[in-house]
Amino acid sequence: MTMLRRIPYGLVLTLAALASFTLQAQVPVPPERLLNTAKEPQNYLIYGGDYFSSRHSQLTQVTPANVKNLSLAWVYQSPVAGSWQPTPIVADGIMYLTQRPNDVIALDAVTGRVFWTYRYNNAPDLLVCCGSNNRGLAILGDALFMGTLDGALVALDTKSGRPLWKTQVADSKSGYSITVAPLALKDRVIVGMGGGEYGIRGFIAAFNARSGKELWRFYTIPGPGEPGHETWEPCPPNPKTYCDPEAWKHGGASVWVTGSYDPELNLTYWGAGNAGPDYNADQRPGDNLYTASVVALDADTGKLKWHYQFTPHDRYDYDSVQVPVLADITFQGAPLKAMLWANRNGNFYVLDRATGKFMLGKPFVKVNWMSGFDAKGRPIQTPQPPGMPTYPAVQGGSNWYSPSYSPRTKLFYVSSWQNNGQLFGGTPIPYEEGRGFGGGVNQPFVPSADAPSRGIPGAPTLPNLRRGPINNWTDVAGHGEVLAIDPSTGEAKWRYSMIDVTDTGIITTASDLLITGGREGYLQIIDARDGKLLWKASLGAQMLNNPITYAVNGKQYIAAMAGLSLFTFALP
């Protein structure tokens, strides 16, 4: 295998410098390049932009002054219907992206013309809760890595799309799937397992990038004898409602958004999803570690260094699958190796990423499931009476779409859903392999004008992730906002409000552009310093992914997917 052959980094840089000429150098991507992405801002090599998942680009060609001149460079149209959630990666002029269910496409990042397409044949009878989603690829050496809906990890040759190896990670018949973009570091590729709505026992695993051999596995639900297992408490004698004595075996804690990596600490950080069943917490007494938590794992061994649980005993489907953003900041007058996290449960957190210590927690949207934190950072929970709305709703204050941190403005940027509530209801549900494991029902909450706490009787179900072209949502049921949060206080420095909600990630640039979108289908570029709109383009369909920016031959591009099309803009 030549996949990871070592190329002197100096040579790589020299080749990268040649990128300003007409022929783009195309070289493998050894681990050193992934460690030093800031030195080659023309490329977009990692799901989160870099190992810190800062999604902050050093490109500066497009500025607040000239952004008005952006024009369409090219469009790629996916032939596959359904929500399109991947973040493309770009390496040396080639863009790699996935499309439903598990196609991989390599195309010319200058023209959008396709070099090759790889089509993975998933097993029949897939069990996927929320559509045939895939969020992207990892690149290492001369291989691309993709998780599949039927629970496999595949490696592909970057030049041809030819499969190099395939490892079956878990059994899809039990509801395991991989939708997360893998994280490549050192000689390995790390993925997490989806399937929290099917009663899986979640885990994160690392695989040798050359062979596909599993190197370690960390279960996000500890087994008997392991620390944390006691948080899956035994059922009380004669419980009033159904209690599952083996709840930990199918307690969820799925992992479906890519983690981050601190090379100095050699820790990789991953968010774990909701507890299962989602809405009937009564049948799984205890805190239910490590559901709705972040875990810090040794990248070499997969051993747990620390954890923090955002939502103990989760009953609202508050997955903690947001991207962990790592930043070196000044906090209360002292330098801090921080982890910044705007959680689905509606709180913004600052954690010490070396120790997991809770430093700050503050709501960034309306929150009523908890009233504050105790001294250790544990939320004081205030479940709402039946029939009263819980804030935030099931889609959360934010969700899987990526935030950004700009070291220039020292602000953390997140797409949020404001004032969006939900009525939750739990129902007992014994586990059955392969069966949906929601354990309840919930519905969007549309406050009534004459009875704001009650909701409009007979109001239509609000559109969820797949809204149509008509906005039946309106500000009455919540609205979207891009927030610029100061990590030292947790307060928003500015807000950019939208009528509809947003599932679009954010990327910022060293020219202080903030690039994002929303369900309304506008690609929006905002001034990262003050939240003023600089430019927008109506792309005609909702954006459910993370825009990126990259450069080829000295020209900067901005790429964003809306509906079934990938639009790429550049200056003339």
Partner 1 sequence: MLRNFSRTPWLSLWAAALLASSRLVAAQNPTLQGHPDDYPRADIEYGAAIYAAECERCHGGDGDGVSGVNLRSGNFRNAKTDLQLRTVITNGFPTAGMPAFSKLDAPQLTGVIAYLRNMNTFDRGSVKSGDAHRGQLIFEGKGACLRCHRVEANGGRIGPDLSDIGANRSPGSLQRSLLDPSSQMFPINRPVHIVTRDGRVINGRRLNEDTYTVQVTDQDGRLLSLNKSDLKEFTILTRSNMPSYKDELTTDEIADVIAYLLSLKGQ
Q: Which of 520, 528, 544, 561 binds partner 1 (CB under 8 A)?
A: 520
Q: What is the rounded CA–CA span in Å between residue 376 and residue 237? A: 31
Is residue 319 involved in binding partner 1 (CB under 8 A)?
Answer: no
Query: Interface residues for partner 1 in 143-162 (CB under 8 A)?
Result: none
Closest CA to 259 of 293, 213, 221, 223: 293
Distance CA 365, CA 487 (A): 15
Residue with Cβ nearer partner 1 (380 or 470): 470
Report the alpha-carbon distance of residue 37 to residue 152 in Å, rounded.
28
Cβ proximity to partner 1: between 354 and 476 the closer is: 476
* Residue 417 found at the interface with partner 1 (CB under 8 A): no
For the record, the structure tokens of 360 come out as 């700050």
Q: Report the distance separating Cα 541 and Cα 466, nearest Å.
A: 10
Distance CA 477, CA 448 (A): 10
Compute the distance between CA of residue 337 and CA of residue 350 in angstroms, rounded to an integer: 10
* Min dist. Cβ of residue 451 to partner 1 (A): 8
- DSSP per-residue string spanning 421-473: -EEEEE------TTS----EEEEE----SS-TTT--TTPPPPP-TT--SS---
Query: Three-class SS string for 84-121?
Result: CCCECEEECCEEEEEECCCEEEEEECCCCCEEEEEECC
Asked whether position 234 contacts partner 1 by CB under 8 A, the answer is no
Q: How far apart are CA 305 and CA 269, in angstroms?
A: 10
| Pick 108 or 171: Cβ nearer partner 1 | 171
- The answer to the question of residue 459 lying near partner 1 (CB under 8 A) is yes
Cβ proximity to partner 1, 272 vs 498, nearer residue:
498
Least Å distance, CB 455 to partner 1, is 5
Determine how β-strand 411-418 pairs with β-strand 479-486.
Answer: antiparallel
Active-site hit among 244, 282, 317, 512:
317
List the beta bridge partners of residue 188. Answer: 185, 208
Please report whether residue 235 would count as binding partner 1 according to CB under 8 A: no
Helix (H/G/I), strand (E/B), else coil: 196: helix
516 binds partner 1 (CB under 8 A): no
x/- map, 487-506, partner 1, by CB under 8 A: ----------xxxx------
How far is 229 from 542, CA to CA, in rounded Å? 41
**Separation between Cα atoms, residue 180 and residue 190, nearest integer Å:** 10
Among left, alpha and beta (phi > 0; psi -120 to 50; other), residue 247 is alpha
Regarding 335 and contact with partner 1 (CB under 8 A), the answer is no
Smallest distance, Å, CB 30 to partner 1? 44
The answer to the question of residue 238 lying near partner 1 (CB under 8 A) is: no
Nearer to partner 1, 13 or 465 (CB): 465
Peptide bond into 392 cis (omega under 30): yes
Least distance from partner 1 to the Cβ atom of residue 370, Å: 21
Q: How far is the CB of 234 from partner 1 (least distance, A)?
A: 15
* Minimum distance, C-beta of residue 399 to partner 1, in the bound complex (Å): 20
Least distance in angstroms from the C-beta of 388 to partner 1: 8
Q: Is residue 522 a contact point for partner 1 (CB under 8 A)?
A: yes
Q: How far is the CB of 448 from partner 1 (least distance, A)?
A: 7
Is position 63 an interface residue for partner 1 (rule: CB under 8 A)?
Answer: no
**Residue 82 touches partner 1, criterion: CB under 8 A:** no
Q: Please pick, from the candidates 18, 536, 540, 554, the single residue that binds partner 1 as defined by CB under 8 A.
A: 536
Q: Which is nearer to partner 1, 337 or 454 (CB)?
A: 454
Tokens describing residue 392: 């935030």
477 binds partner 1 (CB under 8 A): yes
363-402: contacts with partner 1 (CB under 8 A) = 385-387
- Tokens found for residue 312: 């103990």
Closest approach, Cβ 538 to partner 1, in A, equals: 8
Q: Least separation, in Å, of the C-beta of 470 and partner 1?
A: 5
Task: Please give the Cα distance from 547 to 331 (Å, whole number).
Answer: 30
Establish if 248 lies at the interface with partner 1 (CB under 8 A). Answer: no
Residue closer to partner 1 (CB basis): 81 or 441? 441
Of residues 106 through 145, those in contact with partner 1 by CB under 8 A are none
Strands 56-57 and 507-509: what pairing? parallel
Q: With left for phi above 0 and alpha for psi between -120 and 50, is residue 407 left, alpha or beta?
A: alpha
The one among 431, 494, 535, 569 contacting partner 1 by CB under 8 A: 431
CA pair distance 288, 282, nearest whole angstrom: 11
CB atoms within 10 A of CB 125: 9
Binding piece for partner 1, criterion CB under 8 A, among 139-147, 152-160, 267-275, 516-524: 516-524
Nearer of residues 332 and 464 to partner 1, judged by Cβ: 464
Site for partner 1 in 437-456 (CB under 8 A): 440-443, 446, 448-450, 454-456
317 assigned to active site: yes
- Relative to beta strand 163-168, strand 71-77 is unpaired
Do 222 and 228 form a contact (C-beta atoms < 8 A)? yes
Q: Is 469 an interacting residue with respect to partner 1 (CB under 8 A)?
A: yes
Which parts of this chain interact with partner 1 (CB under 8 A)? Answer: 241-242, 246, 385-387, 423, 425, 427-432, 440-443, 446, 448-450, 454-460, 469-472, 474-477, 497-500, 518, 520-522, 536
Annotated catalytic sites, by residue?
317
